[in-house]
Structure 1
């Protein structure tokens, strides 16, 4: 008998969790289950991944784009006390609408399994009566939630799930240490990667003047809360001081802290050598052509781009932040790791990697097979169907 499965996620906007969700829904065996997808954020103009969801999967939105835009118009003016009051009232109204739409859906559909893919459903999970409830943890809870009160509240909500999936062993252990009472519910399933798609996309032709140069690359959302751009900038500057390297550093990505990062670059007098290229629809040709890939974070969910760089046989340098990079790079076996903030060590690895560009392709290929979608999707199916 086919299982009726509900996947839940906050949005289908451009993001790491959304990319993973699309990969799962495209590749999971839909002959064994009927799948619906519930998305909280109904701003369709921003949900760029909607077009990639398989046609046989029905999508339900809990909040309309009109309501979201109306609320957001008050958020932008909430320094004014009047607008702040209205904004808070609208947020409560949005929550009411979301809850009612969700209640109506689960009452009519009678699902067997609910998968809360970003833990955004945890506040409402009590009202869903199904055989199996599964939550996915995509980030270091300790670093992401920060405040002890929020962490404790999340722990209580996670008790309502039958299984809690983390995306690497380090994250599983961290979660177990935070919530010992959940240890028996925890398991690890890696994110799935479509190796062939990444290799094919890396062959796409690029017409951009910067692409013709020799360069090192970093790919990250421009946010200083999570990403350690200061260490990246200072490490690259130090590498140039040590050896007078000619390569530029290109940073692909966009985000709320672009101006802050531009100032960091200017303060280090590196405007000619470090270029912010913004969002690039297809980063893989850039990644393939780069001399090496550098990843600088204070903490990670997992670090999808690290695996993508390895798929493209790139030399990889990463901060040894929680959670993901150490596990992906096999504690330095297939890539270099430096402690968060250690720009001198980062500079050393940049210099050494440019001097010696040999990599053990067979070893890398062997170690990253555990991330192949063919392997990972079977683990998804086993968890859902058993």
Structure 2
């Protein structure tokens, strides 16, 4: 039986594979997720990394707008829109990806963060959800810092991709008990 940690069943995660995807975006294609900013960051990263391979998983009411931005920035050969995938397929993609680029300006807890870290990914995001300054997680506040952190993480060609468990069961239980007794 796997460890269930804040909704994460560690047994459901595939083995970490060779990273074929440099940068992955996961989430609904809507205004909250801020994908126009994501595409601006990718455009600048591609200037230094012309071989960049990016995938965006998700669907939503901004699909056509995002597709148009990708085309207008000449990023069709760099960014693949996969559409919506099952959770198992998302975890498969994460297991073969280097960086989760999360450009949303708002996130509640953000299970995607725990899933990405446990999949061996690095994260580049705003200070949202449960963001933490970790070696594997770069918290940014400007487009320049997003671009710089993506390039920096990509420049280490063979980083050890290891699982990071954001919160273990003991932490979670203590947090709930503290809330309960307040």
TM-score between both structures, scaled by the size of structure 2: 0.79
* Displacement after TM superposition at 1:358 (Å): 3.0
1:188-219 Cα distance to aligned partner (Å, 9 max, x none): xxx8132423xx33249xxxxxxx95442110
Structure 2 residue 7 is matched with structure 1 residue 193 = yes
C-alpha distance in structure 2 between counterparts of 1:231 and 1:373, whole Å = 35
What do the CA deviations read for 1:350-373 (whole angstroms, capped 9, x no partner)?
2111111536958x44xx23xx35
Q: Larger helix proportion, structure 1 or 2?
A: 1
Matched length? 176
**What is the aligned partner in structure 2 of residue 336 from structure 1?**
138
Runs of 5+ in structure 1 lacking a partner? Answer: 1-26, 28-190, 205-211
Distance in 1 (CA, whole Å) between partners of 2:102 and 2:176 is 28
Corresponding residue for residue 270 of structure 1: 75
Corresponding position of 1:345: 145
**Shift in CA distance, 243/381, structure 1 to aligned 2, threshold 3 Å:** closer
Q: Which has the higher contact order (CA 8 A, sep 6+)?
A: 2
Match of 1:358?
159
Q: Residues 308 and 274 (structure 1 numbering): CA distance in 2 closer, same or farther, change over 3 Å? A: same
Q: Equivalent of 1:249, from 54, 69, 91?
A: 54
Larger Rg: 1
Measured after TM superposition, the shift of residue 311 of structure 1 is: 1.3
2:39 match = 233
Q: 5+ unaligned residues in a row in structure 2: which ranges?
A: none
The 1:311/1:301 distance shift into structure 2, 3 A limit, reads same
Work out whether 1:285 is the aligned partner of 2:92: yes
Aligned to 2:152, what secondary structure does the other structure show? helix
Post-superposition CA distance 1:102-139 (Å, at most 9, x none): xxxxxxxxxxxxxxxxxxxxxxxxxxxxxxxxxxxxxx
TM superposition shift of 1:375: 4.3
Given the two structures, how large is their TM-score scaled by the length of structure 1? 0.40
